Amino acid sequence: MKNTVHRHEPPVVGRPLEVLVDDGEVLVVNKPASIPVHPCGRFRHNTVIFILGKERGISELHTVHRLDRLTSGVLLFARTLETSKKLDQLVRDRQVEKEYVCRVEGEFPEGELVSEEPILVVSFKIGLCRVDPKGKDCRTVFQRLSFNGKTSVVRCCPLTGRTHQIRVHLQYLGFPILNDPIYGSSAWGPHRGRGGLVGKSNEELLQALAEEHRSQESLHLLDIPDDGIEQEAEKIKTSEKVHLLEVPSEPNRSEESHQIDTQVPTCGKLSSAAVDKVSQGCTDPDSNNTSSVKPQTNTSNGNQTGATTHKSPPETRDHLCSECKLVRPDPTEKELIMYLHALRYKGPDFEYSTPLPDWAQEDWVEAD
């Protein structure tokens, strides 16, 4: 018996997956933007797990933390179960520091800026979040590194690991990441979500966001097919009705969020809180997960774009497949990346980091 799977994977950048450390206990890579960590949604071959398995024969990796698909930078895996448990305990004990760097619109204020707005997940499937009193407590410390007259490079130190935490907090402060396809969108209204001013229901927000990307032929950035928007909007609408019927007397906060230290240390001495272990589907948040993953080194045929050096299988068209009938322009690399980079992951006896990306250099100017 044979089963053939016909797949269409969204495009990703063609940059190589750089291995920073592989000492038998941990594997540290510099993840390119646009590539998810695990197979999820429409991604399978073009994922970190599958690329490591196919190009390097590496399997049985234990996930220590994850990064958003559009986020680049330091990504850490444990090679053994013992190492995985050790690293997981360090995270739980808040002995791990995470540092990110991003480029935002406008002149970010000088000095240290702390955001503590609660974040609510609107859609797990898309990874759409917003500031909401019903959300989970979180805290991020920001510090401006440079300003080139139009945009600012900002150092970001999250104390918690909520989905899209850095991106949502920057949007709320009025300084969205320069090329963020979700939180820099005009779908959020004239203020683009600054100060929580949106003026739309969750359903209306999703529809507006989808319509904007549909008109720009960039729905792949939302990790959802065109025919899945209505279904997801209906789920959100139903969820909102349930919330109206069951309004809690107090904001819904997790127990974990109440354990956050009341004192805010300097950005250089920050340590992260334990991260939710609930799977976020294909949103691929920067979260803690000690599961072991075994990629298949002999993968089935499927559309693959730029992530591996292996020759792609012959292109096939299925007359029953709606995707095969669509002709989309190839996106540029600029359209596939976001200016958010995981710069450093540090523990009591280890530190892994990467050089600053080109776009984070002080004299960088965006090309027209």
Positions annotated as catalytic residues are 68
Q: Residue 265 carries which side chain, given as an amino acid letter? A: P
Residues recorded for the chain: 368
H or E element at residue 142: strand 140-147
Q: Count the neighbouring beta carbons within 10 Å of the beta carbon of residue 328.
A: 12
Tokens describing residue 260: 């956050």
For 259, the token pair is 């354990």
> In this structure, what are the phi and psi dihedrals at residue 288, rounded to the nearest 5 degrees?
-90, 135
Helices 202-215 + 229-245 axis angle, to 10: 160
Please report where in the chains the tokens 């530190």 appear, as a residue.
351
Residue 98 near residue 345 (C-beta atoms within 8 A):
yes
The closest of 346, 228, 352, 342 to 285, measured between CA atoms, is 342
- DSSP 3-state of 335: helix
Given a contact cutoff of 8 angstroms between Cβ atoms, the answer to whether 237 and 249 are in contact is no
Instruction: Kindly state the helix (H) or strand (E) to which residue 146 belongs, with its residue range.
Output: strand 140-147
Sign of the dihedral through C-alpha 321, 322, 325, 327? negative
For 287-327, the three-class secondary structure string (H helix, E strand, C coil) is CECCCEECCCCCCCCCCCCCCCCCCCCCCCCCCCCCHHHCC
Residues 6+ apart with CB under 8 A from 152: 103, 104, 106, 107, 108, 144, 145, 146, 175
- How far out from the chain centre does Cα 286 lie? 7
What are the start-end ranges of the H helices in 10-141?
A: 48-56, 81-92
